[in-house]
Each structure stands twice: as C-alpha cells, then as structure tokens.
Amino acid sequence: MIPARFPLTRSVGGAVLLTLVCVNTVLLAAFGLLDYAGEKHRYEAELRYDLMVEADQLAANLATPLWVLDKEHVRRHLDGIMQNERVAAVVVTEAGSPAVYVGRTRDRTWRPSPVTEHPALDGVIVEKRPIRHLDTDLGTVEIFATRQFVDQDLEGSFARILLRILGLNACLALVLALVLRWRVIGPLARLERYAARVSLGDGTGETPPLDGLRWEMASLGRTMEEMVNRLSSAQRKYRDIFEHATEGIFQTTFDGRILSANAAMAHMLGYDTPQEFMETVTDVGRQLFHSPDERRRMLTRLLSEDSVPGLQLRFLRRDGQTIWVLLNIRLVRDGKGNPLYTEGTLTDVTARVRAERRLEILNRHLREAVKERTRRLAEKAAELEAANLRLQELDRLKSGFLATVSHDLRTPLTSIMGFAKLITRDFTKFFKPFASGHERLTRQADRIAANLGIIESEGERLTRLVNDFLDLSKIESGRAQWRDATVDTAALILRATEASSADFAAKPEVAFTMDVAPDLPPLRIDPDRLTQVLVNLLGNAAKFTDQGHVRLRAGVAGPVLRVEVTDTGQGIPRESLEKIFDKFHQAQAGDTVQEGQRRKGTGLGLAICRQIVGHYQGRIWAESELGRGSTFLMELPLPHLSPGENEDGE
C-alpha cells in the first residue's frame, strides 16, 4: 500500500472535528448564558417578590404599636423580620421626622444589631412602605434585602451549566470522531492513496475505490475518476501531438543537453529517431547552431525576457548542410524563479527564405523598372502639358479669330441685306409693273424677285450664324456681358413665346400650348439671355415637328425653376442626347429626319443655351426616344432676394 504523501486526511478530519466542537461549544455557551441570565432574573424576581410581601405585612403589623407608641412591640416585630437571612436591614421612621425611630442591621458576623441612622449598604434591594392607621400617616418602614445569597445560588447554577457544556462537548466530539472516521476520513484516505498512485503514474488505468462511498464522497470519487480519465486522455493527446507534430518540439538544458525531442525535430536535422538524436547531440550550441555565439546571445535574451518568439537562425544538419529555421523558445523557472531548462518549437523555413531572397531580387528589378517607367511617364506628362498649353493657346487664337472674322463679316452682310431689300423694293415698284401682260417677262420678273428673296433669307441666316459665332466666342472667352436684373419670370416666358409665334404660325398643323404655374417667383438673370434660350428651344421644337403639338411648361420644383419644352417630332436617338449640345452638331440622317430632308441651322444654338444655363449654375438636358418626340428640360436655381430689392436690381 502506498502511503499518502501529505497528512491530508488527518488534517481534514481534525479540522472538521475541531470546527464542529468549536461551533458546538459556542452554541452551548450561548444557550448557557441565556440559561444563566434567566436564572439570575428568576432569583432576583423571587427575592423582590418576597421582599414586597414582607414589607406589606410588616407595615400592617406596625400600624397599631406605632399608634400607641409601643416601641418595644415595634422592636419585636423588627427582630422577627431579621430572622430572614436575606434581610440586611430594616428601618422605621415617624411621620414628619427623618430620624430613625427603630432600626435593625447586620454586623460583620451577619447578626442583627440596633441602628440609629439610615444604613449605607451596597448590593441590596430596597422596599419602602408607609405605615397608616385609620387614614393617618404614622411613618414609614424600609426593608433592605441583600443579593449575596442570589449570587451564591447563581454560582452554583453556572457550575452546573459549565459541567453540562463540557459533558455534551465530550460526547459530541466522540460521536463526531467516530462518524468522521467512518464517513469522511476513511473514504478520503482511500481517495488520497488513489490520487498518490495516479500522480506517480501507477494508477492511470485503475478504477478509483468507490465502494462504501456515499453522498458527496461518492460524487467526489466519480469526479476524480472523470478527472483522471480526462487527464489520461489529455496526456495521450499531448503525446500524439508531440510525436506526430510537423514542427520540431524540444527541451534543452543550459549546458546544451537535449532533455526531450520529437520525431519531427530529429528528421529535420537528419537523424532517424529521437533517441539517436538525443544520444548524438551533447552540445546544442556547438553541434546545431551555425554560430555558437548566436546561442549565447539567445540565452542572454532569454534570461532577461523569459521568451524569444520568431527568431530566425541557421542550423547545421547531421550531413553538414545549413538550413534556416524559425525558433520559438521560452525559459522554464522553478517556484523560486531559478532557471531550470528551455523548451520551444523549431520550423524549417529554408524554402521560404530562399523564396524571399528570390522575391527580393525580383522586387529590386521591379523597382528599377518602375523607376524607369516613372521617368518616362514624367517625360510624357511634360510633353502632354506642353501640348495642352499649345492647345489652349490655339483655342484662344481660334476664339479671337472667330470674333474678328465674325465682326468683319457682319458689316458687308448688313450692306448686302440692305441693298437686296432696296433692289427688291425698287424692282417690285418700278420694273415689275412693265412686265404685266407679257407672260415671259412676268416669269422673268418673278424669278428675279424670288432670287432676291433667296439673297435676303440667306443673308439673314448668315447673319444669325455670325451672331451665334460672336455669342459663343464671347461666352467661351469670358468677354460676354451679363446684364442681370430681377425679372418677372412669367412675363419673360410670355414674351419669348410671342417672339416664337411666327414659327408656329408658319405651321398650322403644329399646335402650341403653354402651361405656366401661377405666382412664379422672380429670377435674378439677364432677360435677353433667358429669352435667347427659350426662343431657341421653341424654334427647334417648331422646326423639327411636322405635325402634332408643342407644349411649354414652367413651374417650381423645390429650389429650382423648371422649364420643359415637349414636342411630338420624330425624336432623338439615345446616343445623340448629349452630342446635340456640342458645337456644330446637327441632326443627321437617322437622328430626327430622313436623308435629304435636313433642316437648315448653324449647329450652335443648343451649345449656346448650355453655356448660358451653366453660367447661372443651372442645367439643361434632353429626354427622347425615336418616334415618340423629345422633351428639353431646363432648371435654374431660385435666388434669395432681399426685401428691399426691386425688379430693376437696384
């Protein structure tokens, strides 16, 4: 039988027994004190009751002798009351006089003796009664009872209570000792011996002694059995992990000896078995480390930090080949903090180190290539910047050229249109009447008048083109003049529709309707520019609508004024909805008309409209589908006018 390594059962049994005895002693002492207090109260109550009875009887007995002034009779009564050893003194005083009339007290031998004044006594109970005869106060009688005999009785009771406590404690201790030895100490001793065998490795597969265990002890035994089974399972799992791990696991001493190692560690360093590895390697620093100084530095760091994770080192295999390993190691100390041994894991990272070096070479080449590419891109960027500056200069030259040419063209165009109107008027007034009656001359006169009309209409178209050029060039160059004023939005829209009424009058098959919301807020804008945008949108709608209707809507949509011009023309393809706002873009075949039916225009109207609307932080766009007409929408932000600002902007 394996003895217990620690006096666990004896210490537990003794502690339990001592605790129970102490608790029982405290409880019995508490009950004893309660019993003692009850006895003391009972004795004093009995003493006070007896004293009250004697005082009443004595007062009644002394009434007649004191009435007849029979002092001798009074003394006999006092001697009779002093026969009670509990009475310490008795004093009779006459009414109206503080002096003692007759009195008795005790001497040191506790014998009665006369007294002529009130006695000064300690530890006594006093009862005072008046002496009355026929409703006449004759005096008072005072009886003094001592507590001495009560204390003697209480001492006897206390001794009996103490003896009971000691006897009960002894019996209880004996019973508890037997019960504890039977139910606690014995089972604990068996479990302790089983635990000792398990700790020594001899009872791993043994069943714990559960026979005779009941209640908590049986539960403790089953818990210990489960714990041993789990420890055994954990030990097997740890052993499996240790033996089958892909990383090397080791324990080494400070002088370089190997305490334990797994198979992965041995195979990594070129050994067949862990036993061969541990027998062959006797100095880790000299036989495994590529440089012994690396191990000395590692041990110095371990002593100061207790662990060194992720240390990359070079190790030597059995065949002399150098490999790169990743070492994670920690220092194990005893309870006093003294170093015992080191333990850790080892991973072969040779392939990774080689790959990192190859990657480093590739990264270096890549950095050089990126640097060269960046230099070339910088050169290209400089070239593009120079080209952009040249393009900007060309754009400025183009804008200036267009402005100059357009301005120089307007003067001769004005003259041509003026003289064409004069020739038309004079020819119609003076020469055409002479052709009446001649069919041939009449045809010639009509042809000449038609040709003059063509000259006039084409001159007007060319004038509009020149004006559009001038407007666009001024807006793009920033030289356009904006005469902003606070205008009545509804009135301005009405004037724009009146200006476009001729276009719709020329097409009676196209109906025009207008839906303007009431109480439109005023706008802070150049009225001529807004009229130009509206006239352009309405003119395009009339131009590209052969039949159907054109509708203008105006209203407030949140913080903006929205104007919509909707027509029932042939529509615009989706891919051309943005192109139509580019300069010089016109509807081609397949856009809104068939080939050979193009409407005449400059291709600048919508581009100018977008420039004007954009100047006021608004936006303009088109929504359309082929065969379903088009809708042009314009939104302008509403201004926040001050109360004193009028329509003239003053």
Three-class SS string for 24-45? HHHHHHHHHHHHHHHHHHHHHH
pTM of the predicted structure, to 2 decimals: 0.38
Residue 42 or residue 326, greater confidence: 326
Dmax (CA) for the chain in angstroms is: 198
Buried b (16+ CB within 10 A) or exposed e, 82-108: beeebbbbbbbbbeeeeebbbbbbbee
Residue written as token pair 């005083």: 93
- Give the helix/strand (H/E) hosting 88: strand 87-94
Strand partners, 312: 326
**Least confident residue range of 8-17, 55-64, 520-529:** 8-17
Residue 356's identity, in one-letter code, is E
Domain 482-637, second-level architecture: 2-Layer Sandwich (3.30)
Q: What is the dihedral of CA 229, 231, 233, 234, to 10 degrees?
A: 160
According to the model, what pLDDT value does residue 177 have? Answer: 75
> For residue range 208-263, what is the model confidence (pLDDT) as tens digits?
555 555 555 666 666 777 777 777 777 777 777 777 788 899 999 988 899 999 99
DSSP 133: S
Q: Percent of the chain at pLDDT above 70?
A: 82
Where residue 358 falls among pLDDT bands split at 50, 70, 90? Answer: very high
Identical topology for domains 11-159 and 245-348 = yes
Q: What is the 3-state secondary structure (H, E, C) of 513-576?
A: EEEECCCCCCEEECHHHHHHHHHHHHHHHHHCCCCEEEEEEEEEECCEEEEEEEECCCCCCHHH
Where residue 524 falls among pLDDT bands split at 50, 70, 90? Answer: very high
Where residue 592 falls among pLDDT bands split at 50, 70, 90? Answer: very low
According to the model, what pLDDT value does residue 8 have? Answer: 43
Give the CB-side neighbour count of residue 377, counting CA atoms within 13 A.
Answer: 6
Task: Check if the beta carbon of residue 182 is closer than 8 Å to that of residue 171.
Answer: no
C-alpha to C-alpha distance for 385 and 383, rounded to whole angstroms: 5
C-alpha to C-alpha distance for 91 and 117, rounded to whole angstroms: 8
C-alpha to C-alpha distance for 112 and 110, rounded to whole angstroms: 7
C-alpha to C-alpha distance for 610 and 578, rounded to whole angstroms: 11
Task: Compute the average pLDDT of residues 162-185.
Answer: 77
Does residue 175 have a pLDDT over 50?
Answer: yes
According to the model, what pLDDT value does residue 59 have? Answer: 87
Look at residue 160 and give its three-state secondary structure.
helix
Residue 22 or residue 8, greater confidence: 22
Does residue 476 have a pLDDT over 70?
Answer: no
Residue 369 or residue 473, greater confidence: 369
According to the model, what pLDDT value does residue 586 have? Answer: 63
- For residue 480, CA distances in Å to 410, 471, 475, 609, 618 come to 18, 7, 5, 14, 18
Buried b (16+ CB within 10 A) or exposed e, 452-486: beebbeebeebbebbebbbbbbbbbeeebeeeeeb
Q: Which CATH superfamily is domain 11-159 in?
A: PAS domain (3.30.450.20)
> In the chain, what are the domain boundaries?
11-159, 245-348, 362-480, 482-637
Give the CB-side neighbour count of residue 206, counting CA atoms within 13 A.
Answer: 17
Look at residue 272 and give its three-state secondary structure.
coil
Residue written as token pair 């790959």: 355
Task: Compute the average pLDDT of residues 99-125.
Answer: 86
What would the two tokens of residue 138 be? Answer: 């004759």
- Across 116-120, 362-366, 411-415, the highest mean pLDDT is recorded for 362-366
Does residue 472 have a pLDDT over 90?
Answer: no
Give the CB-side neighbour count of residue 483, counting CA atoms within 13 A.
Answer: 6
According to the model, what pLDDT value does residue 9 have? Answer: 45
According to the model, what pLDDT value does residue 2 have? Answer: 42
According to the model, what pLDDT value does residue 636 have? Answer: 94
Does residue 494 have a pLDDT over 50?
Answer: yes
C-alpha triplet 596, 597, 602: angle, nearest 5°: 105
DSSP 431: I
On the 0-12 / 13-18 / 19+ scale of CB atoms within 10 A, 11 is exposed
According to the model, what pLDDT value does residue 488 have? Answer: 92
End-to-end alpha carbon distance in the chain: 118
C-alpha to C-alpha distance for 433 and 440, rounded to whole angstroms: 13
What would the two tokens of residue 128 be? Answer: 């005072």
DSSP 639: P
Does residue 502 have a pLDDT over 90?
Answer: no
C-alpha triplet 551, 552, 558: angle, nearest 5°: 130
Task: Check if the beta carbon of residue 206 is closer than 8 Å to that of residue 191.
Answer: no
Domain 245-348, second-level architecture: 2-Layer Sandwich (3.30)
C-alpha to C-alpha distance for 93 and 98, rounded to whole angstroms: 7
According to the model, what pLDDT value does residue 11 have? Answer: 59
Does residue 549 have a pLDDT over 90?
Answer: yes
C-alpha to C-alpha distance for 262 and 274, rounded to whole angstroms: 6
Whats the size of the chain, residue-wise? 650
Residue 161 contacts by C-beta under 8 Å, 6 or more apart in sequence?
A: 32, 35, 36
- Give the helix/strand (H/E) hosting 250: strand 248-252
Task: Check if the beta carbon of residue 409 is closer than 8 Å to that of residue 466.
Answer: yes
> For residue range 297-336, what is the model confidence (pLDDT) as tens digits?
999 999 999 899 999 999 999 998 999 999 999 999 988 8
- Output the CA torsion sign for 8, 12, 15, 17: negative
According to the model, what pLDDT value does residue 202 have? Answer: 59
**Least confident residue range of 144-153, 208-217, 299-308, 376-385:** 208-217
Task: Compute the average pLDDT of residues 477-493.
Answer: 84
Residue 303 contacts by C-beta under 8 Å, 6 or more apart in sequence?
A: 331, 339
Q: Which fold has domain 362-480?
A: Helix Hairpins (1.10.287)
Residue 253 contacts by C-beta under 8 Å, 6 or more apart in sequence?
A: 259, 341, 342
According to the model, what pLDDT value does residue 590 have? Answer: 43
Look at residue 456 and give its three-state secondary structure.
helix
